[in-house]
Each structure stands twice: as structure tokens, then as C-alpha cells.
Chain A
Amino acid sequence: MKLLERDEFLRQLNNQFHSAVDGEGQVAVICGDAGIGKTSLVESFTKQIEDNSKLFWGACDDLFTPRPLAPLYDIAVSMKSRIIEKLEQGVSRPSVFSALLNELHEKEPNIIVIEDVHWADESTLDLIKFLAKRINKYKSLLIITYRSDEIGLMHPLRLALSNISSRYLKRYELPPLSENAVKMLAKSFGKTDDSIFTKTGGNPFFITELLMNNPQNIPATIKDLAAFRLNRVSVESRTAVEIFSVIPGVVEKWLVNLLINNYKVVDEAIESGILKVENDSVSFRHELLKIAVEESLSEAKRFKKNNTVLNILLEQKNIDPFLARIIHHASRTANKEVIFKYAPLAAKQASKYGAHEQALKHYKTALQYAEHLSKKEQLEILKGYVYECYLTARIDEGIQACESIKKILLDHQDPVSEGENYRRLSRLLWYAGKDNEGEEYVIKAIDTLKDLAPGRELAMSYSNLSQIYMLREVTDESLKWGRKAIELSRSLNEPEVEAHALNNIGSSKLFSSDETGTEELKKSLGLSLQNDFHEHACRAYVNLGTVNMYKRNLAEANNYFTRAIDYSNEKDISLADLCVTGEAAQTKLHMGKWDEAFDISYTIYERSNVPVMDKILPLSIMGIIRARRNDPGAFQLLNEANELVLDGGEILKLVKVKAALAEAYWLINKLEENINNLTECYDIVLQSNNPWAIGEIAFWLWKGNSLNEIPDRIAEPFLLQIKGDWQAAAKIWEELKCPYEQALALSEGNEKAMKKAVEIFDNLGASAASQLIKQKMRKSGIKNIPKGPRQSTKENPSGLTGRQMEILELVATGLSNSEIGSKLYISTRTVENHVSTIFSKLNIHSRVEASALVHSNQTRK
């Protein structure tokens, strides 16, 4: 059947397919309401090109809690691939996904279809993100379909896909058919009923069903249509259709055979236009029909049918593949016994496959009926639940669950679980920005566990306490507890705890400028990498980054943060992502890369479920950038960061937020109003031994004429500036490649220095500081104050020099750096430096983007 009003979509899909065949893989996202024809479009398209390409197909199911990676199973079957075995053997997901990509490469060109993504589990979403990001290097077209009304704007998939260049990804929103099209269609069936368009709203499925059916009275709704068709078949057939309607997805042949006696009933239903058979499985002709039938069942009937299917599934020899389906039917029948027996199993399975959202949901399902379980069983479920809350950053939920565990343990003696629970609670409280409470609980954990036979939990508790002190930069306490942790962990042979503690000790030392800390930190990293302690290795990278960031070794810091992010992606660590991002953004801010810093911070800001501690730096970074640009909405963000950082306990965040807030006040000439706030912070920071932390706050106190005496420990550039040696200070900032701080130092200098400061501020877009200094210059009677970046529509406002424009154009034509060097008679190295600067100014990250930018630039002469 030819599809109406879909020609343009087919044409564009074809274009995408041809790009893919030419080696530039593409993603097509097809969305629309139910019945709008997404599947029809995909089928029509794939049929068109079926001789020119392989097709691998998978779909997501409408399960109460979806089965992890369900479509991957389908795809693996159609590819005759063995990656499912890898998955079940416990190979990490990123490796499995990479293996899939390799297999796709071997079977090029191909089209991969994943349908009904609105029902996808977390792992499937990760798979789609993984493929979408990389597909442009393969001869593949990835088509995904979803119902737009079931996926809101903030859905993680939409956010992830919005980052992919429109060169590789196209969205197809299928509209309903127009009135004209409906009339035409009706005419071709010999009907002239004008009410069809109104009745169906242009929904293609409904329209074709109505027209092909030839009913005497055109039914008003799909429900009526379904009822009409059901009434035409025998009772046995109707019963079969009803039972199929409660089964999510398709009904496999073996299941069909267990549910019915005579295949005739299926044939009848096919004849009547309700069911269809594909690849031996029975399914409804359309989801909408299935829903209509299911909704028409009485409560009692629905219960009975779900129960029947449930019992069949439970009787299978190997129930592992059916866990999610078992839970689905059990929750429909409120079958407590089945739920508490199998939900934890389903949760563990989902967790194993990285579908933590689903694991969480399974635990929650089990907990719904928890009062009927023994305390011991409840405890086990709650423990799993807390763990999944932690992994999905549902901090408040996790804290509540720990409270529930506390209650249970009141009359169920289990000191090990009690101690463990206090320790977990302590971590969660820290993430929630409640450092003091977190400390209380880890101490409680230690008190509970220390009288028992020494174990891993006690050692880990020592290390967690050491960690709290490390972040607060109370060096001696951190070292003391860290050493205790190491001693115990060595006697217990627990290298994981040892690695954790070494990190705390090393970081503590480095924060207080004791360079011997590097040894411990590197040892921690080595031990973690060796033993696959993924989270600890990641934390080691992060802390190595942080210590460098403090000292403004920005390139080093950036390297470590990038490594941390890459590592966490590779090893599938979900939580680390958020932590590193804030610090990575802070590094970019110091480097003067404000757009990047802002964008990175904004992605955290936009997300839901971000723990308090991970929100702080992004808020403060976005706030200070706005303040520096004199844009609206600065103080709102800075104040929010300020509120959150108070109970947070981490010196790094405290210093960055307070310094940012002070600067924002200074930029509007109101620093005196913020002095009390700064002084309070200063008292806390002085207790750390960190010259950079102390220096940053001392600097702003000095700017506000409130620094009573120069502190003993203070980092050099700040010291020089406070002493009045602005020139030496500016030089150091320049060497450290911190342009904004360099300009701040210069602005305290002579006329020439101030002019240079204004130039730097203008280049960065720091209008607030620029205006402040210009005012200062005017007041001191300085003439010839620079007017600021003059904007002409002929110039490129990104501030590229002539040479850089030249190089940009050459990059856009596809020449390599050495080819460009040859052409312009300069060294490859010089070209590389220029390209790096150009990318930075234009906020792009690849030559492809450069090319796109040049070609779409409208004001080229």
C-alpha cells in the first residue's frame, strides 16, 4: 500500500541511507502519535532498499519494568551474532557495544531499526546513545522510533541526541493526514463520508482500518472497531485474543501452543483483522487494537488471564529470560509471593546489565508488599535498593531507605548490617551536601563495628572518615584515619580499601603542598587499575586533576579530568560522570574558555536528580560567567551555589563559590557588602594548609581593603599582588595561561598595564571588568581609552585575525595541518597552534565543524 503524504520523509530517509552507504553513517529519529504510521514508514522504506542493504531489527516492549537490552537480543538474532553470550558472561557493556559496532562494520552497509524506544530501559538508551555518537564513521543507518507523547523534552534520550550534529541526525515528526488526503483515500475506497477526517483526526491507522473494514456504521472509536471485530469471531477465538492482549510484546509460538488448543482460533482472528503472524510469533495488527481489547476486559478477566500467563512462565525450566515478564504479570495480579521471590532476582539481573533505573524499579515493586516479608528479607531488598539509589544518584530516596533499614535493625540484631548502613548513609548525606551529618554517621559506623571482629566495613569506615577530612582539608586528621585504614586493610588483605585510603592520604598531602603525596596518589591509581577497582581508579584521576587545578596547572588538570571521563565511560561508572564535570568546567573557566565552561555546567544544571554536591560548581561557574559578561541572572545562580556550599564541607567548592560571589560584588562596586561573608569563609580556609585556597580568599579580602595581615601560607601570584607587585603577579598568571587573572593583576598597574588589561577583558567578553577599569582610567584622567571590540558586519566577531581566517578557510577545504603549512610556508607546529586557537575562539571541536561553520556563514563576501 502506498503511503500518503510521506514522500518527503521517504526521500530524506533515502538521502540519509545514501550518505551512510558513502561512508558517513546516519541516525534517523522517527516520532509521532500512536497509529501515525511510524512502523509503516520504516517498513515501506526498508522494503524499498532491501536489495541494497542488510537489515537488523529490534523493538522495546511495553513491560511494567522493561527487560534490559531487549532490542539487543532481537538485533543479535537478526545478525546471527554471539554478543548476547558475551553479555551473559559478564563482559562490560561498553565492550559488548564495541563488539556490536565491529560486527556491524563487517556487515556493511546496513540499517539498524530499534522501535518503540519510549519503552526502552536504561541500558537500551545507553546503547542508542553509544551507537548514535559513533555511527557516522560506519556505513550504517540507525533508525529509532518512539511515541512523542510519551517522551518529554527532558527525557535523557532527547538530551543525549540533541548533542549530535544535524549533519548526522535527522528527526522526522510524522503529522496526521490532511483533510485532502483523507478525502482522497476515502474516495479510492468508494466512500464519501465527510466525517471520517473528524472522527479519526487524520490518524492513518484508524482511517485505514475504518475504510478497509466496510462496516455498516463506521465505529466512533478504535475501541468500537476492536469490539466489532471481536464480535465476529467464535468464543474460543475471542478468548484467545483476550489472553494475547495481556501479553506485552509478541506471543512466541511455544507460548501460543500452551495457551490454545487449536490453531484455528488464531486463523479466525487473523481473518477478522485483529491478529497477525510474523516469524512464527503472534501479535496484534496494531498496538492500538491490543490496547482496545485489553481495556475492554473486566477486572476479573484481566486478572485471570494475567495469572494464567504468569503460571506458564513460572513453570519454564529456565526463568532467567522471563524475569521481567514474570514481574509484569505478577504486579498485574498483585501476586506478592511471586513478587518478593522474583523482583530481587529481576533487580540483580537488570543491575548486572547496567539498567539501574529498572533495577531500582524492581526493588521498589518488591518493597510495595514489604510488610509481608520477614525482617531479614526486607533488609536484603532494602540493601539492594540503597545501592541502586546510590548508582542512579537518587540521594534523597537512598537516605530514606537507609532510615527504613535503621528502623528494621532496631529489633533485629545485626551489627554488621547496622554499621554498613551507617556508612552508606554517611556517603549519601555527603552527596546531599550534609557534611556534618555525614561525619556523625561514619563515626557511628566506626563505633558500631569496632567492637566486632575487624572486617572490611570497619576498614572502609576509617577510610571514609579520612575522606571527609581530606575534602575539608584537615590534613592531620585525614592522615591519621587514612593510616588506620591502611593498617587494617593490609592485615585483612583488602586492597580495595587500601587503594581508597592511599588516595585520601595522597590528596590530603598534596592539598597542603606536601609533594610526597604524589607517591601515594599514584600508588592508589596503580593498585586500582591493576585490580579493576573502577570507581577508585576514576577517583584517583579526579583527585590528580583537582590538585593540579588548584595550582593552576591547567593543561595537566584538564588531561586528568578528560582521562577520568573517558575511563568512567569505558568502564561504565555512572556516578563519576557528574562529579568530574564540575571540576572539568572550572578548569576551562580558569583557562578562559568560558563558552565551554558554561555549556558543560549547563548540562548538569538542566538535569534532574543531580546530588547537591555536584550542582555547586556548575552553578557558581555559570553565575560568575554571567557576572563577568554583565548578563542577567548572575546573582540568582551564585546565591544558590552559596546556599548549597555552606554545609558541604569541601574546601575546594567553598573557595571557588565564595571567590566567585566576592568577584561578582566587586564587579558592581559593592564588595563591602560581601566582606562579612568572605571573612567567615576565610577563618575556615585558614585552617587548611592550602596556599592556593588561602590565597584566593585573601586576595578578595585585600581587594575589599579588609585583609588585616598577610597569611603565612599563600600562593605566589596572590602574595605578589597583595604586596603590590602587580607586574610580577601578572607575569605568573600569564605563564599559567589564566588570562582573566592576568588582566585583574594588570588592572592594578600603570596606564599601559591598564590598557592591556582592558584589551584582555574585551577579548574574553568580560564587559563588567572592562567597564570598571575604563571608569578607573577616566577618573585618573587617562586619555585615549580603548573603545572596545569594534563590531562591523564585515569583520568576523569571533575575533579571528586575518591569518587565522586564512587558516580556517584552508581547514574547511579539508587540508591537513602539514598541507596548510606547506601552502603558507609556515611550520606544521605553527599551524597546529593557530588551529587550536581558532577552535577555541569559535567554540568548535573538529575540522568537520569548522567546515560546516565556514560553509554556512552568511556574511562571507
Chain B
Amino acid sequence: MPRYLIERTFADKPKLPANGEKDRVSFINNNSECYATWLYSFISDDRKKSYCIYEAPTPEAVRKAAARNNLPVDKITEVRMVDPYIYQSDSDY
């Protein structure tokens, strides 16, 4: 399944939802109903920008999941993870 990098910009620092586990589960359910899986994110110091890595079949699945969880989407890019091993001669870079 392809991986996507999603850039998000928040007007205010997003608050963490108050219901803990219940919210986490519903967040994940909203994602999985759209066939999208949140892997992890990088967030800026002021929390107004985030860069999220998702696994999903299409960019539209990512958008649907974002809409369900009330998250903004600035830009979606399909990405691959690479590490220094790409310098090896037999890498498929």
C-alpha cells in the first residue's frame, strides 16, 4: 500500500481530545473505515504545522479519513522511506 506524507497547518494549537482511550479508538476507527492507517507524525514547536505519514490505498482515502477526524489537509505527497543503505550498489533506489 502506498504511503503518503500529509502537511497540515492549524490556525490554533490543536488541543488533545479530553476522553483519552475512547477518543483514540474512535480516531483509529474513523481512519480504518476509510482504509487509512496513521503511522506517525512530526509536529512543529508551536504545534501549528504537522507532517503525518499515513498508509492508504489512495490520496482520497487519506482525505476522507482527515475529514472524519476534523483534520486539515494542505498537501499530500506519495513517499517512500529511504535510509543510508540506498547508497549500496544493489539498492533499488
A785 to nearest B CB, angstroms? 16
| Residue in A626, A794, A797 whose CB lies within 8 Å of B12 | A794
Q: CA A631 – CA B9 in complex, angstroms?
A: 17
> In chain A between 625 and 647, which residues have their CB closer than 8 angstroms to a CB of chain B?
626, 629-633
Q: CA A761 – CA B69 in complex, angstroms?
A: 23
Within 8 Å of chain A (Cβ to Cβ): is B10?
Answer: yes
Contact B70 A793 (CB under 8 A): yes
Q: CA A798 – CA B26 in complex, angstroms?
A: 19
Q: CA A795 – CA B58 in complex, angstroms?
A: 26
Contact B59 A631 (CB under 8 A): yes
Q: Size range of the interface on B?
A: 20 to 34
Known: A791-B10, A793-B12, A856-B26. A633 touches B58 (CB 8 A): yes
Contact B60 A793 (CB under 8 A): no
Q: CA A794 – CA B12 in complex, angstroms?
A: 9
Known: A631-B76, A859-B17. A790 touches B11 (CB 8 A): yes
Find chain B residues with CB under 8 A from A789 CB: 72
Q: CA A794 – CA B71 in complex, angstroms?
A: 10
Contact A791 B67 (CB under 8 A): no
Within 8 Å of chain A (Cβ to Cβ): is B77?
Answer: yes
Contact B26 A797 (CB under 8 A): no
Beta-carbon nearest neighbor of B26 in chain A: A858
Question: What 1/0 flags go to B17-58 for Cβ under 8 Å of A?
Answer: 100000100110010000000000000000000000000001
> In chain B between 59 and 85, which residues have their CB closer than 8 angstroms to a CB of chain A?
59-60, 63, 67, 69-72, 74-78
Contact A791 B9 (CB under 8 A): yes
12 contacts between A and B (CB under 8 A): A630-B75, A631-B60, A632-B59, A633-B59, A767-B74, A790-B11, A792-B10, A793-B10, A856-B26, A858-B23, A858-B27, A858-B30
Contact B70 A858 (CB under 8 A): yes
Contact A767 B10 (CB under 8 A): no
Within 8 Å of chain B (Cβ to Cβ): is A368?
Answer: no
Contact B59 A797 (CB under 8 A): no
Contact A798 B59 (CB under 8 A): no
Known: A632-B4, A793-B70. A858 touches B17 (CB 8 A): yes
Contact A796 B70 (CB under 8 A): yes
A positions within 8 Å CB-CB of B: 598, 602, 626, 629-633, 767, 789-798, 856-859
Q: CA A797 – CA B14 in complex, angstroms?
A: 13
Contact A859 B59 (CB under 8 A): no
A618 to nearest B CB, angstroms? 13
| Residue in B63, B72, B75 whose CB lies within 8 Å of A791 | B72
Q: CA A602 – CA B35 in complex, angstroms?
A: 15
- Report which residue of B14, B72, B77 has the largest number of chain A beta carbons within 10 angstroms of its beta carbon: B72
Beta-carbon nearest neighbor of A631 in chain B: B59
Beta-carbon nearest neighbor of A861 in chain B: B18
Find chain A residues with CB under 8 A from B59 CB: 626, 629, 631-633
Find chain A residues with CB under 8 A from B63 CB: 629, 631
Find chain A residues with CB under 8 A from B9 CB: 791
Known: A792-B10, A858-B17, A859-B17. A767 touches B26 (CB 8 A): no
Find chain B residues with CB under 8 A from A791 CB: 8-11, 71-72
Contact B78 A858 (CB under 8 A): no
Q: CA A245 – CA B39 in complex, angstroms?
A: 51
B positions within 8 Å CB-CB of A: 4, 8-12, 14-15, 17, 23, 26-27, 30, 58-60, 63, 67, 69-72, 74-78
Known: A632-B78, A858-B26, A858-B70. A792 touches B11 (CB 8 A): yes
Beta-carbon nearest neighbor of B66 in chain A: A797
Find chain B residues with CB under 8 A from A793 CB: 10, 12, 14-15, 70-71
- Report which residue of B63, B70, B76, B77 has the largest number of chain A beta carbons within 10 angstroms of its beta carbon: B70
Find chain B residues with CB under 8 A from A796 CB: 70
Beta-carbon nearest neighbor of B72 in chain A: A791
Q: CA A794 – CA B10 in complex, angstroms?
A: 10
Find chain B residues with CB under 8 A from A856 CB: 26
Beyond A793-B70, A798-B67, 10 extra complex contacts between A and B, CB < 8 Å: A602-B58, A630-B76, A632-B76, A632-B78, A633-B59, A791-B10, A791-B72, A792-B12, A857-B70, A858-B69
Beta-carbon nearest neighbor of B22 in chain A: A858
Q: CA A793 – CA B70 in complex, angstroms?
A: 7
Find chain A residues with CB under 8 A from B71 CB: 791, 793, 797
Q: CA A767 – CA B30 in complex, angstroms?
A: 25
Beta-carbon nearest neighbor of A796 in chain B: B70
Find chain A residues with CB under 8 A from B30 CB: 858
B30 to nearest A CB, angstroms? 8
B54 to nearest A CB, angstroms? 12
Find chain A residues with CB under 8 A from B26 CB: 856, 858
- Report which residue of A598, A632, A856 has the largest number of chain B beta carbons within 10 angstroms of its beta carbon: A632
Beta-carbon nearest neighbor of B16 in chain A: A793
Q: CA A421 – CA B83 in complex, angstroms?
A: 60
Q: CA A795 – CA B67 in complex, angstroms?
A: 12
A58 to nearest B CB, angstroms? 31
- Report which residue of A789, A797, A857 has the largest number of chain B beta carbons within 10 angstroms of its beta carbon: A797
Beta-carbon nearest neighbor of A598 in chain B: B60
Beta-carbon nearest neighbor of B78 in chain A: A632
A163 to nearest B CB, angstroms? 13
Find chain B residues with CB under 8 A from A767 CB: 74-75
Find chain B residues with CB under 8 A from A857 CB: 70
Q: CA A598 – CA B75 in complex, angstroms?
A: 18
Contact A859 B77 (CB under 8 A): no
Known: A791-B8, A791-B9, A858-B17. A797 touches B76 (CB 8 A): no
Q: CA A632 – CA B6 in complex, angstroms?
A: 11
Contact A633 B72 (CB under 8 A): no
Beta-carbon nearest neighbor of A857 in chain B: B70
Beta-carbon nearest neighbor of B15 in chain A: A793
Find chain A residues with CB under 8 A from B58 CB: 602, 633
Q: CA A161 – CA B65 in complex, angstroms?
A: 20
